[in-house]
Chains A and B, each alone.
Chain A
Amino acid sequence: MKLSPDQKLDISDVLKDLDRYRPRRRGWSWRSKLKEHKVGSFIYYDASEDLDHSVPLPAAQAFDDIDPQCDMMITTEIASGRFEDDLRRMRMAAWHGADHIMVIRTTGQSHFDGLIEGTPEGIGGIPVTRKQLRATRKALDAIEDEVGRPINFHSYVSGLAGPEMAVLFAEEGVNGAHQDPQYNVLYRDINMHRSFVDAAEAKCILGDGGILQLDGAHNANATAKQAWKVTPELLVQHAVNTGYSRAVGMPPDLIALSTVPPTAPPAPKLRLDLPYAVALRDLFQGYRFRAQQNTRYMESDTEEATVTHVLDTLISRLTSADIQSTITPDEGRNIPWHYNNVAGVNAARQVLMGVDGLKQMIDLKQDGPLSEQAREIKERAVLFLEEILEGGGYYAAVEAGQFVDQGYYPERKGDGIVRDAAGGDGAASVLAREADYGAPVCSHFGHNVYATETGKPCDQYGGCSLCDSGKIQYIDELDAEDNVDKRLAQPLAERARGVLRPEVEKHGDGVVCVTLFVPERPQLAEAAALEMARYMGLDKPEVINRRLMHPAEGSVFEIKGTLAVAVSIDALPVEEKQALLGDDEIEAWVRGRDIHLVAATVGEDEHSVGLHEILDIKHGGIERYGFHCHDLGTSVSVEQLLDVAEQAGASAILASIIVTHADVHMKHMRRLHALARQRGLRRRLVLVVGGTRITDKLARECGMDAGFGHGTTGRNVASFLVRKLRDMNLS
């Protein structure tokens, strides 16, 4: 399957022949880091290989459209409920720099004692099944070819079916997984004996499969009311999972700690979060760090969330991280919308490119409050570990409510999570292995009569599925109604008919978001805002964010609603786009004709970047075709332009114009046209304008021959000029 940047991902193509699909690689892939990497005009010191296809950051348009890539991997979490919609979201995120795709499971899968098959729809995530994993990995193969960088696919090996899920992940080429028995115990109330016994088997399979493991400690700060007070316990939770994984035999470079800076402004975030980040990295040298962004204090305001996430990412750079996870800025108010996955990814890469090389200039102080507080957190963690042992070990400590207590340990508030070692989901399902216990398969943990010094335990019957993928039994669908084919029937039919609807989450869901400011006191303003949304034709309008500007002067609201309108593509006015002439054809016509052009930025405007990109040979501008360019610079008057054009016998004027309030840009264009005509130059002088918000239509309405907007290259302009001048020569 091959993707083309101008074609949509074809879901039918993804679903074809899945029974025969095999993953082309196994285990985790890191980015190729580069210590000194030149991109455009800059050298980057914390960078990785460039992409073949991407969407650069918005400001890149002022920097030759460069898109440098940071050294950390970037995670985006995907939770739509339908994997077929997730695939498009993954492709969009990958174009913005995400290379770790974490798929959230549907609510309740943790408590499902076994594997799910087929493609049923989920809630808040998808049911992870073999078919869904195959389809996703297959699509990601094509997406990673398109962007030019390996993409890691990740989901969860927790709940009651951890060992089976781990086998499934190893077989199907899943690259990363959450695996932490403490998560089962504390947050899912799954029996603790069951969780730890299952975890050893699962970790053994993940480790042998090269699958990167993330732990679940960060959930404690998502749960605690005062998240900065659970920091000693976070060190303990990381340590229990890390120590357990090591004891199972997992290599340290596959053990990643999932860590979150615990606080958010207005708390003095860096003063609280940095000592913890330092303490963690001191104690866990040699392991990997997946830095997550804070969700605990996220409200519905996406801008506020983004600023907190920027600070989180700064902490990653000031300390260290192998993976920078991102949280969509709208997670505090709804299941993330796909374009907010992109927003989250962009915030992280914008920060990481912006702070490139920072550690060459600044160090964290080794003395003073930072190291003193880091030491204190470590000592508190040691005391926590001592109490676990004094109380009779891990299980007894959980029974005694030692975990997720709101006190700053050794302070105890008495509100910790309490679990019964003999209770919980899956209680009494752990059984002792008999002396003749055997498991004739690879990656099996513990006592096993088939484990021998030589050969594999599976040799006797020709190899297990981890050695011979031909043994895997593929099940397509079990539910004739709840499956991807049924769900796709309508969207595919609409696509075939050329019908478009807006969407934020699922194909054509019709959801839109409008922003309204209403100049009244909050309650009245909100009622008015909803009423206005109804007037706009939005069905079921709902306020998803409200921000007070002033108690009496007004509030601003973001309102979501459904727009029950489908637009037919055939009915849309689309500008005819002429194919560009080839470079050779342009140059062949221009060279030897001695064509002069006069260029400048017109009016009171000091911007010259865009014009340089069109003109300069080094930016691939039109000089390279052999045009003689007279660049008059910035803040040039229309009169000056025409004076020089007349003196030089120029064939064309290229004017860069910024779109302003009061329509000054339109006046400039009309004046240029009128003056050229007055001076008798207009018939032989081509007038071209450009600027980020200029359109061809607007330029022509103001008397110009052509207008070029954002994204224009020298070839676009040269192609137009050659066609136009050829026509004029003929006439």
Chain B
Amino acid sequence: MSGMEREDDFQARRARLRKLSDQELYDKFWSLVDKIVAPLIEEACSHTTPSIERSVLLRMGFSSLECRDLVARMQERGLLGHGAGRLVLELSTLKGISTREAGAALLEGRYWEELPL
């Protein structure tokens, strides 16, 4: 329960909205929405989550089980902020192996110390 209670004071509050045309009310509605959404989008641009990182590895050709294990291990090591896909891709470049081979090696516990950060 939020505890916040208030009588319906719509008639008093609407006074300043009444003079707006329908178009002006429409514009006001969407400008408020944009302001509410902006910080949420900003956070999404600059942050990631385990599910996003698993979805990246999924797109790189790993199975859901491999994605789960790779992301969990990267998270344990505090590496996820670099991007799971980036770690795998850069390791494959460094070692001259395919991305799947790089992922498989990490799952076998190899190359973790050599990840190019």
**Chain A residue total in the interface (Cβ 8 A):** 92
B32 touches A386 (CB 8 A): yes
Residues of B within 8 A of A442 (CB): 59
A162 to B95, CA, bound (A): 33
Residues of B within 8 A of A416 (CB): 2, 4
A239 touches B81 (CB 8 A): no
Known A437-B82, A473-B61; judge A401-B3 contact (CB<8 A): yes
User: Which residue on A lies nearest to B55, using beta carbons?
Assistant: A163
A365 to B3, CA, bound (A): 40
Chain B, interface size category, equals: 35 or more
Q: Does A684 contact B (CB under 8 A)?
A: no
B55 touches A164 (CB 8 A): yes
Q: Does B94 contact A (CB under 8 A)?
A: no
Residues of B within 8 A of A311 (CB): none
Which of B3, B17, B25, B36 contacts A243, CB < 8 Å? B36
Residues of A within 8 A of B107 (CB): none
Known A379-B17, A412-B4, A431-B81; judge A163-B29 contact (CB<8 A): no
A618 to B65, CA, bound (A): 63
Q: Does B73 contact A (CB under 8 A)?
A: no
Considering only residues 585-617 of chain A, those with a C-beta below 8 Å from chain B are: none
Total inter-chain residue pairs, C-beta < 8 Å? 255
A490 to B89, CA, bound (A): 48
Q: Does B35 contact A (CB under 8 A)?
A: yes
The 8 closest A-B pairs by CB, nearest first: A401-B2, A438-B86, A200-B44, A471-B61, A163-B55, A473-B63, A411-B8, A446-B45
Chain B residues engaging chain A, CB cutoff 8 angstroms? 1-10, 13-14, 17-18, 22, 25-26, 28-30, 32-41, 43-52, 54-56, 58-68, 80-83, 85-86, 89, 92-93, 98-99, 117
Smallest Cβ distance from B100 to chain A, in angstroms? 9
Considering only residues 261-295 of chain A, those with a C-beta below 8 Å from chain B are: 282-283
Smallest Cβ distance from A710 to chain B, in angstroms? 52
Known A244-B40, A247-B41, A412-B4; judge A167-B46 contact (CB<8 A): no
Q: Does A475 contact B (CB under 8 A)?
A: yes
* Supplied contacts A197-B43, A389-B35, A415-B2, 8 more A-B pairs, CB within 8 Å: A196-B40, A282-B26, A283-B26, A379-B10, A379-B17, A383-B17, A401-B2, A411-B8
Residues of A within 8 A of B86 (CB): 436-440, 449-450
A563 to B52, CA, bound (A): 49
B117 touches A440 (CB 8 A): no
Q: Does A472 contact B (CB under 8 A)?
A: yes
User: Which residue on A lies nearest to B26, using beta carbons?
Assistant: A283
Residues of B within 8 A of A375 (CB): 22, 25
Which of B51, B56, B60 contacts A198, CB < 8 Å? B51
A290 to B85, CA, bound (A): 36
A394 touches B49 (CB 8 A): no
A243 touches B46 (CB 8 A): no
Q: Does A460 contact B (CB under 8 A)?
A: yes
Q: Does A429 contact B (CB under 8 A)?
A: yes
B40 touches A418 (CB 8 A): no
B36 touches A439 (CB 8 A): no
- Residue picked from A115, A193, A381, most chain B C-beta under 10 Å: A115
A437 touches B33 (CB 8 A): no
User: Which residue on B lies nearest to A434, using beta carbons?
Assistant: B81
A465 to B55, CA, bound (A): 11
Smallest Cβ distance from A187 to chain B, in angstroms? 16
Q: Does A20 contact B (CB under 8 A)?
A: no
Considering only residues 570-596 of chain A, those with a C-beta below 8 Å from chain B are: none
Residues of B within 8 A of A430 (CB): 43, 47-49
Binds B, one of A402-410, A542-550, A631-639, A652-660: A402-410
A197 touches B64 (CB 8 A): no
